[in-house]
Amino acid sequence: MQIVILDNAAEVARYGADVFIRQIDRKPDSVLGLATGSTPLALYRRLIAACKNGDISFARVCSFNLDEYLGLAGDHPQSYRHFMNTQLFEHIDIDLRNTHIPPGDAADPIQACSDYDKLIEARGGIDIQLLGIGRNGHIGFNEPSSGLRSRTRIKTLTEATIKDNARFFSAREFQPHLSITMGIGTIMEARKVVLLATGAAKAKAIKAAAEGPLSASCPASALQMHGNALLIIDEAAAAGLERRAFYKHVERENQKLLQSLDKT
Ligand code: PGA
């Protein structure tokens, strides 16, 4: 697990966006795993700017989102399909037919889950998966107690997550309590995983994910078993880390190494 600690949320977005820009530059037909929530928004704004400047093109990119509310159709303003269209897809040159989000309104949602995993596989697997983290350590909607090898499936949201996400819904608006989410096993198959976390509210979850035991109690701790996981976090989210100084030292050494390789 590589842990990069930066001064603030803007730096986290910049660093994370650069990782995605390099990926698309290297492989223009990359398969991206994308996430919703507040944290990735600044990164998406940077990808939009890079696309508008002509630095990258999404014309050959294909994407798979982590999750969707069960019971919401894609045209519902609270659906994650609507979120992705308005926050990213409508502003870049991606072909909407290459963007995939679990269908919240599927007639047979159980079948839709296994179809989603099959589609990811048919597209060659995910090259790079973006993740946020819940205050309870969830990734996607894999809440604590989720199987560490789980596949895309229907998951019940915890009270805590429903409360955290209530800010996106207006009073008396229907807020789903169920979701379709990629499983932890599905996420772990991505060739690279990039998790972003900012703010003090995430410090406990980051501590558990990076330094706690591998445990379904903190689904993000599964990333300790991933061969290519990158955590990009700000100082506030890093506040609980015991080996914070060491991670900063490692990152400085990595940067020195990269610079010296650049010169050769
Ligand atoms: P947030 O959500 O980015 O809105 O904090 C993250 C998550 O719940 O995965």
Q: Please tell me which residue in 67, 68, 189, 234 is annotated as part of the active site.
A: 67
CA dihedral of 122, 123, 125, 126, whole degrees rounded to 10: -150
Task: Using most ligand atoms within 8 A of CB, pick from 65, 143, 164 the residue to mutate for ligand 1.
Answer: 164
Q: Measuring CA to CA, which residue among 6, 240, 228 is closest to residue 137?
A: 240
pLDDT confidence band for 122 (50 / 70 / 90): very high
Confirm whether 25 is a catalytic residue. Answer: no
**Measured in angstroms, how far is the CA atom of residue 264 from the centroid of ligand 1?**
41
Q: What share of the chain is helix, strand, coil (3-state, %, to 5)?
A: 45, 15, 40
138 catalytic residue (yes or no): yes
Q: Say if residue 172's pLDDT is above 90.
A: no
pTM: 0.96
In whole angstroms, give the CA distance from residue 41 to residue 234: 15
Residues in the chain: 264
Protein residues with CB under 6 Å of any ligand 1 atom: 37-39, 132-134
Catalytic residue among 136, 165, 189, 226: 136
Buried b (16+ CB within 10 A) or exposed e, 245-262: eebbeeeeeeeeeeeeee
- The residue type found at 170 is S
Q: Exactly one of 143, 165, 189, 234 is catalytic; which is it? A: 143
CATH number of 2-263: 3.40.50.1360
Question: What is the whole-number distance in angstroms between the Cα of residue 138 and the centre of ligand 1?
Answer: 9
Q: What is the pLDDT of residues 192-208, one digit of tens each?
A: 999 999 999 999 999 99
Mean pLDDT computed over 121-144: 98
For residue 61, name the pLDDT band (cuts at 50, 70, 90). very high
pLDDT at 262: 83
Q: Cα of 39 to ligand 1 centre, how many Å?
A: 6
